[in-house]
Amino acid sequence: MTRIDHPEGTDNVLLDLGFGDAEELSAKAALALKLNELIDQRGLSQTETAAITGMTQPKVSQVRRYKLQNISLERLMQALVSLDQHVEIVVRPAQNAHGITVAA
Residues 15-23 have a mean pLDDT of: 67
Cβ-contact 62, 70 below 8 angstroms: yes
Whether residue 1 lies inside any domain: the answer is no
CA gap 34, 103 in Å, rounded: 10
Record the pTM: 0.77
Whether residue 61 lies inside any domain: the answer is yes
Cβ-contact 52, 62 below 8 angstroms: no
Which domain covers residue 40, as residue numbers? 19-82
Of 90 and 73, more confident: 73
Per-residue pLDDT for 1 more than 50? no
Of 10 and 62, more confident: 62
Whether residue 14 lies inside any domain: the answer is no
Residues 46-67 have a mean pLDDT of: 97
Whether residue 33 lies inside any domain: the answer is yes
Residues 35-51 have a mean pLDDT of: 98
Which pLDDT band, with edges at 50, 70 and 90, does 93 fall under? confident
Q: How many domains does the chain have?
A: 1
DSSP states along 58-97 = HHHHHHHTT--TTS-HHHHHHHHHHTT----------SS-
Whether residue 77 lies inside any domain: the answer is yes
Whether residue 103 lies inside any domain: the answer is no
Q: For position 30, which CATH number holds?
A: 1.10.260.40
Residues 36-57 have a mean pLDDT of: 98
Write the DSSP symbol of residue 20: T
